[in-house]
Amino acid sequence: MLFQVEMNLQIPHDLPAETAKALKAAERQRAQELQRAGLWRHLWRHAGRYANTSIFDVESSQALHDILSELPLFPFMDVKVTALCRHPSSVHDDDR
């Protein structure tokens, strides 16, 4: 199943800098692992904001929930999820 996920981050200003740095490094590592595994298919940054739009390819909404809730920066995210399905007017035979 494909899902569009918008993540807006709001890291508290009073979070110690070293803690924030470690969380960001762990987040990057996990995001790259999920991309290499084919679960986090696309990742785009929102220009001028600490936010992204991503496409996940997972087996279920529960699988997506599990992935998102285990991300190191999840406690600081406002997440919006939209389930996607193929459009009959698409010129592509796949979900790229």
* pLDDT recorded at residue 95: 67
Alpha helices of 9-78 — where are they, by DSSP H?
17-36, 61-69
Q: Tell me the two tokens of residue 66.
A: 């599990």
CA-based end-to-end distance of the chain: 13
Q: 40-72: per-residue pLDDT in tens?
A: 999 999 999 999 999 999 999 999 999 999 999
Q: 3-43: per-residue pLDDT in tens?
A: 999 999 999 999 999 999 999 999 999 999 999 999 999 99
Q: What is the CATH number of the domain that holds 9?
A: 3.30.70.1060
Whether 92 maps to a domain, the answer reads no
Whether 38 maps to a domain, the answer reads yes
Give the separation between CA 48 and CA 25, rounded to whole angstroms: 21
The pTM assigned to this predicted structure is 0.90
Burial bucket for residue 27 (CB in 10 Å: 0-12, 13-18, 19+):
middle
